[in-house]
Structure 1
Amino acid sequence: MEIILNAGLGIGSLMFLLLLFKTGKKQEDYFFLCWIVVTLGQIAFYGVTIYRFELRSVWAIATFGLPLLGAPLLFLYILALTGRFVTWKTVLAHLSVYPIYILLLFLIQERDGVVLIASNGLFRLPKNPPVWMQYYAVPLALSALFYCIWDLVLLRKHSQNIVEFFSFHEKVNLRWVNYIVYSYFLLFLVASFLIFGAIHFQLLPIENAFALVGITLCLMLIAFVLYGFRQTAVFSNIDVGRTMDSKVSAAEKASYSKSGLTPSKIETLANQLSTYMEQEKPFLNEDLNLTLLAEQSQISPSYLSQIVNQYFQKNFYDFINQHRVEEAKKRLLSADYRHLSILGIAFDCGFKSKSSFNRYFKKYTGKAPSEFRKK
């Protein structure tokens, strides 16, 4: 088990160095760097206290309480990654629980004349321990559960916003971050089960229980590495959320009646947009988003969103991809494009992947692209 913990430390350290030397780091990258450091600290805590030596007093409290930093740092990372600018006030509000926890435990142990000793992954309890020593881990469990739920709520809102701001899902859906949050929740369940079983039913030695918790944490960190490299959202400079940042708020969408656009003005702008789409074909740009189209068509983002939603009765994703499918239909039947494969036409029409093209083409036409081309 110690080998796996050491492997997790090595892989995590490599990941930290790769991200540290990444150029053009954004706010979310710094949160992620901090999360890696804290996670490595947690893994090191299990490795040291189980296989090396005990930690005492402040050192024991500070390292045992690291999950109170890990959970909020992952939340702040997701918050920034989905387009919110995180202020220092927000950062301090979420991270302040950790120093408060350390200070309270230190003061309580001084008051009661005891010294907290971390051994085998937890605090060693004396005979007839004070009541507070039996519940010292409760804040960590509550924090993990609370932030897991909040993370999932954030990611759900982000997935709902994608169709209103982007014409593609690839590299912006953050599905891989969902996997990380679910693994965090799994870690919480595994830790609770193992520790409860070890303490109350002696299912396994307590040191093995915490070693398994550390291994689960290592596996989660390794999964982050694999998904990060595969999806490239952590290691590249993809700007996932900035398009959505304060361009068209939910309040604006909910109050289209207060936008000042009259029916005649809406129709005029809709015709302007339709003409621009037909003549300039901006949808051929695979990275087209609401902000970019607003700049190109000279229609404000809020007006553009209202026109697409209200006049055309579509979200932005469907509006753009319908134009892409129409263009693909023309090219699939045109002799001028017979030299191109179906996938080549899909890419030329603005689709980022074969799967998204096939899925949306069949949704819109009822036929697969290959079937449509044969007719």
Structure 2
Amino acid sequence: METVLNVGFGIGILMFFLLLFKKAKQQGDYFFLGWIGIMLCQVAFYQITIYQFEITGFWAISFFSLPLLGAPVLYLYILHLTGHKVSARTILFHSSIYGIYVIILYAAQQYWDTLIIAKDGYLLIQKSDTFWSRLYAVPLAISGLLYCVWDLLILKEHRTSITTLFSFQEKIDLKWLTYVVNSFLILFVITSIWIFGATQFQLFPLKNAFALVGISLSLMLIAFGFYGFKQTAVFSSIDFSQNNSPIHNSPEKLKSPYSKSGLTDDKIEVLAQQLAIFMIQEKPFMNENLNLSLLADNLNISPSHLSQVINQYYKINFYDYINQYRVEMAKTMIKSNDYDHLSILGIAFECGFKSKSSFNRYFKKNTGKTPSHFNS
């Protein structure tokens, strides 16, 4: 167990310094940097108190309570990645939970005239057998569970929102982050059960339970080391400053914001015809990085108006609208002898798809057949 803790700690330190010296850091980089620092402190806390020596008083309370800070910082990082505005008030609100908890626990130590010791990864409260002294870790468990669920809801919303803004999903759907959070949630439940069994029924040494917590954090650091370092905010290169921006709105939620857009039904029909002509003549869908903002610039209209036209006139989202054209072009190319020199994958790239998997998935969704079967 100690080896895994040390490996996670080493990778975390490497990530921390690589990000620390990264140029042109964005807000999300600072959240990520802060989260790595908090995780390193937590892993160090378990490594020291389980395998080295005890910590007492304020420092014991501060380090043990770090999960109340780590979970909110990860949540703020995910908010930034998914294009939400993270204000100073939001940061203060979520980080204040940690400060309040530390103050309460430290004040309780002074009030009960006792000493809190961090040993084997958890807190021992001397000269106290009060009810609260047996439940001091409950807020940490509740916070971890709530923020995991909150993270997953934000990521689910994000996967819906990108279909209104992008013609692709590769590298922006944040699936890797969903996998990491889900894995952490599973590990969190397992370790919580493990700790409960150790504290309430003495099924195994409590130090092993908290060592498992430290290992979980180490594994999470390793996962972020593989995926998170190069991740940037999905919406950082797109300007959605116009009113009624479609960001974070699913197609079902878009009708209400559009009610104040100023577009009449006749105007929507005119724009829809202009869009269709532009798509056929200019074939902008062949650009694999096409997004709503870029297409709107080409048509000299606002992204919100373009989104309204696609959603209300064609009854689909931007992602499906663009990929329908890509599939139609692919079908034509597959059936034509003029493109025999291209493989199926070559045709997919020519039509604007970013990967073989996305091409196969959307082609089958549109035609009911795989590209190879369609060609037979």
TM-score range normalised by the length of the shorter chain: over 0.9
Query: Is the 1:56–1:118 Cα contact (8 Å) retained in structure 2?
Result: yes
Q: Does 1:362 align with 2:360?
A: no
Query: Where in structure 2 are the equivalents of 1:135-284 lying within 5 Å?
Result: 135-228=135-228, 234-237=229-232, 239-240=234-235, 243=238, 247-248=245-246, 250=249, 253-284=255-286
Task: Point out the more displaced range, 10-19 or 243-252.
Answer: 243-252
Q: Distance in 2 between matches of 1:188 and 1:356?
A: 33
1:299 maps to 301
Query: Is the 1:243–1:290 Cα contact (8 Å) retained in structure 2?
Result: no
Q: Distance in 2 between matches of 1:312 and 1:168?
A: 19
1:231 maps to none
Query: Where in structure 2 are the equivalents of 1:1-375 lying within 5 Å?
Result: 1-126=1-126, 128-228=128-228, 234-237=229-232, 239-240=234-235, 243=238, 247-248=245-246, 250=249, 253-374=255-376
Query: Is the 1:82–1:241 Cα contact (8 Å) retained in structure 2?
Result: no
- Number of aligned residue pairs: 369
Letter matched to residue 69 of structure 2: L
Please state how far the C-alpha of 1:23 moved relative to its aligned partner: 3.6
TM-score (norm 1): 0.93
Letter matched to residue 93 of structure 1: F
Query: Is the 1:284–1:349 Cα contact (8 Å) retained in structure 2?
Result: yes
Please state how far the C-alpha of 1:7 moved relative to its aligned partner: 1.1
Q: Distance in 2 between matches of 1:7 and 1:152?
A: 27
Query: Is the 2:116–2:126 Cα contact (8 Å) retained in structure 1?
Result: no
Q: Distance in 1 between matches of 2:233 and 2:353?
A: 17
Letter matched to residue 101 of structure 1: Y
1:371–1:252 CA distance, 2 compared to 1 (3 A): closer
Q: Distance in 1 between matches of 2:216 and 2:90?
A: 29
Task: Point out the more displaced range, 318-327 or 210-219.
Answer: 210-219
1:238–1:141 CA distance, 2 compared to 1 (3 A): closer
Which whole-Å deviations, capped at 9, do the CAs of 1:218-265 have from their partners, x for residues lacking one? Answer: 11221222343xxxxx41546346648563254654243443222221
Q: Distance in 2 between matches of 1:359 and 1:191?
A: 37
Letter matched to residue 372 of structure 1: F
1:120–1:99 CA distance, 2 compared to 1 (3 A): same
Letter matched to residue 110 of structure 2: E
Q: SS in structure 2 opposite 1:124?
A: strand
Letter matched to residue 305 of structure 2: Y
Query: Is the 1:145–1:185 Cα contact (8 Å) retained in structure 2?
Result: yes
Query: Is the 2:28–2:233 Cα contact (8 Å) retained in structure 1?
Result: no
Q: Distance in 1 between matches of 2:146 and 2:69?
A: 13
1:304–1:370 CA distance, 2 compared to 1 (3 A): same
Task: Point out the more displaced range, 80-89 or 251-260.
Answer: 251-260
Please state how far the C-alpha of 1:21 moved relative to its aligned partner: 3.3
Structure 1, unmatched stretches of 5+, are 229-233
Provide the alpha-carbon RMSD of the alignment: 1.9
Task: Point out the more displaced range, 25-34 or 85-94.
Answer: 25-34
Letter matched to residue 248 of structure 1: P
Q: SS in structure 1 opposite 2:144?
A: helix
Please state how far the C-alpha of 1:165 moved relative to its aligned partner: 1.1
Which whole-Å deviations, capped at 9, do the CAs of 1:75-107 have from their partners, x for residues lacking one? Answer: 001100000121111101100111111111111
Q: Distance in 1 between matches of 2:31 and 2:106?
A: 27
Q: Distance in 2 between matches of 1:79 and 1:222?
A: 21
Query: Is the 1:61–1:116 Cα contact (8 Å) retained in structure 2?
Result: yes
1:33–1:13 CA distance, 2 compared to 1 (3 A): same
Which whole-Å deviations, capped at 9, do the CAs of 1:11-30 have from their partners, x for residues lacking one? Answer: 11112223333344322121
Please state how far the C-alpha of 1:56 moved relative to its aligned partner: 0.7
Letter matched to residue 332 of structure 2: K
